[in-house]
Homo-oligomer: A and B are copies of this chain.
Amino acid sequence: MDFAYPEKVNELRTRVTAFMERAIYPNQQTYHEQIAVSGNPHHHAEIVDELKAQAKAEGLWNLFLPDKEYGMGLTNLEYAPLAEIMGRVSWASEVFNCAAPDTGNMEILAQFGTAEQKRQWLQPLLNGEIRSAFAMTEPDVASSDATNIQLTIERDGDSYVNYVLNGRKWWISGAARERCKIFIVMGKTDPHNPDRHHQQSMILVPRETPGVTIKRNLPVMGYVDNEGHCEVLFENVRVPASNLLGTEGSGFAIAQARLGPGRIHHCMRAIGGAQYALELMCQRAASRVAFGKRLIEQGVIQEWIAQSQLEIEQARLLTLKAAWIIDTQGKKAAQNEIAMIKIVAPQALTNVVNRAIQVFGAAGLSDDFPLASMWAHGRTLHIVDGPDEVHKRSLARSIIRQHTS
C-alpha cells in the first residue's frame, strides 16, 4: 500500500500543470470571447487549435488511451491525476485530445473496431482532426435502465447488407459541433430476446447519413454548451452492415466496457473542478471583508473550506482506488467502486462549487467567474450515466449480497 504517485506520473503532472499555467488559464477569456464574437455558441474557438498543436508537439497528447499502439499507454491510475488537472478548466481536455465523448469512443473503437473502422474513424479521432458523439439516451423512456431503449436497428430485408435505424435520441453531447463526424448509436437489433441484456447493439452512423436530423440543441441549466447536447432524429437511416461495432447483441456489454475508464476520467475531472473552486473560494475569502473581518477569518467560511477539502480528498482517493482496481483486477471487480465514485465525485463538485458561489456573492452567479457554469455542469453529472439513485441501488444490492450470503 502506497499513496505516492510514481515518478513518471509526477513528471507528467508537472508538465500538464505547466501547460495549464502557461497556455490554458491565461487564455480563458480569449476562449469565451472567440465564441461570443462568432455569434455561434457551438463555434470552435480558434485558440483551441493553436493550443492543440502545442500540446501535440510537447507529447501531451492522447494521454488517456491505455492502448500503447494508439495512445500513451498509461494505466487508468496513471492517467487519473492528469485528468484531474485538465478538469480544472472545462475546455482544457480537448487541447490534450482527452475530451469526452471522444475518449470513450476511441477506447471502444480500439478495442472492438474492425481494421477498416479503425482506419476510417479511430485514426482521425486520435489525430484530433474530427470529433464524435455517443447516442444512447432517449426522450421517451427512463434511459437509466438501458433495457428501456427503443431505437430499432433492423436488417434491411433478408440480405445482410444494410441496417436501418429508426428512433429518437437526445442529450447527444458533441453533436452540435461542426467537426463531429461520427455517431456511435445504441439501439435494439433483437428486441424480443428473452435475455434483455442481449437485445442491444452498437453501430457507427456518419453524421451526414440521410435520415439523420439534428432537431435542436438542449440547454443545460441555462447554459448553451459549446459542444451541444442535441436531440437527434433517426428516420430510416441506412448504414452498411460493416458499420456494426462488435457483434449483434453485444451493445450492452460494450456500453459496460466503455463505462469504467470513462467514469474514472469524468470523476477525476469533476474533482479537478472541485479543487479549482476550493482554491478560488480561499482566494476570494482572503480578499473580502464583512462585519469588520476578512471572510477567511469567519467560522462558517472556515467550516465550508474544511468540509470542501474533506469531500474532495475522500472522493479523490476513492476514484484513484477505483482506477487501481480496474487496472489490476479488471472492470468487473471494480463495479462497486465505479458506482461509488459516480455518486461522490459529482457531489463533491456541486457542493464545493455551491459554497464557492456563496462566498463570491452575486459575482459567483454571473459568468465573470467560471463557478456558475461549473455548477451547471456538475449538476448534470448527477443525472448523466444514470441518476445517482440508480447507482446507489446497484451498490446497495451488491453490498447486501456480500453481507447476507
A344: B residues at CB distance < 8 A: 310, 314
Q: Are A290 and B365 in contact (CB under 8 A)?
A: no
Q: Are B404 and A387 in contact (CB under 8 A)?
A: no
CA distance A380 to B366 in the complex (A): 10
Which residues of chain A (300-344) have a CB below 8 Å from chain B?
300-303, 305-307, 309-310, 313-315, 317-318, 320-321, 324-325, 328, 336, 340, 343-344
Chain A window 262-287, contacts with chain B (Cβ cutoff 8 Å), 1 for yes, 0 for no:
00000000000000001100110110
The smallest C-beta distance from A83 to any residue of chain B, in angstroms, reads: 15
> Which residue of chain B has its CB nearest to the CB of A321?
B3
Counting CB contacts under 8 A, is A382 at the interface?
A: yes
CA distance A102 to B296 in the complex (A): 36
A375 in contact with B221 given A3-B324, A137-B362, A318-B313 (CB within 8 Å) = yes
Which residues of chain A (322-376) have a CB below 8 Å from chain B?
324-325, 328, 336, 340, 343-344, 357-358, 361-368, 372-373, 375-376
CA distance A221 to B363 in the complex (A): 10
Which residues of chain A (139-175) have a CB below 8 Å from chain B?
139, 141-145, 148, 170-171
The smallest C-beta distance from A346 to any residue of chain B, in angstroms, reads: 12
Q: Are A396 and B306 in contact (CB under 8 A)?
A: yes
A403: B residues at CB distance < 8 A: 278-279, 282-283
Q: Are B290 and A222 in contact (CB under 8 A)?
A: no
Q: Are A302 and B392 in contact (CB under 8 A)?
A: yes
Q: Are B373 and A222 in contact (CB under 8 A)?
A: yes
- Please state the number of chain copies in the assembly: 4
A282 in contact with B1 given A170-B362, A221-B375, A395-B309 (CB within 8 Å) = no
A53: B residues at CB distance < 8 A: none
A279: B residues at CB distance < 8 A: 403
A325: B residues at CB distance < 8 A: 3
CA distance A391 to B358 in the complex (A): 13
A387: B residues at CB distance < 8 A: 358, 361
> Which residue of chain B has its CB nearest to the CB of A391?
B306
A296: B residues at CB distance < 8 A: 396, 400, 404
A303 in contact with B305 given A361-B144, A361-B383 (CB within 8 Å) = no
A373: B residues at CB distance < 8 A: 222
Counting CB contacts under 8 A, is A299 at the interface?
A: yes
A291: B residues at CB distance < 8 A: 145, 393
A318 in contact with B320 given A286-B400, A363-B139, A365-B220 (CB within 8 Å) = no
> Which residue of chain B has its CB nearest to the CB of A382?
B358
Q: Are B2 and A324 in contact (CB under 8 A)?
A: yes
Counting CB contacts under 8 A, is A18 at the interface?
A: no
Counting CB contacts under 8 A, is A223 at the interface?
A: yes
Q: Are B283 and A404 in contact (CB under 8 A)?
A: yes
The smallest C-beta distance from A38 to any residue of chain B, in angstroms, reads: 16
Which residues of chain A (376-405) have a CB below 8 Å from chain B?
376, 379-380, 382-384, 387-393, 395-397, 399-400, 402-404
> Which residue of chain B has its CB nearest to the CB of A142?
B290
Counting CB contacts under 8 A, is A218 at the interface?
A: yes
Counting CB contacts under 8 A, is A219 at the interface?
A: yes
Known pairs A2-B324, A142-B290, A306-B392 / 5 extra A-B pairs, C-beta < 8 Å: A220-B365, A221-B221, A286-B400, A299-B303, A302-B393
Offer 8 A-B interface pairs, CB within 8 angstroms, sorted by A.
A1-B320, A282-B400, A302-B392, A314-B344, A358-B387, A358-B388, A364-B383, A365-B383
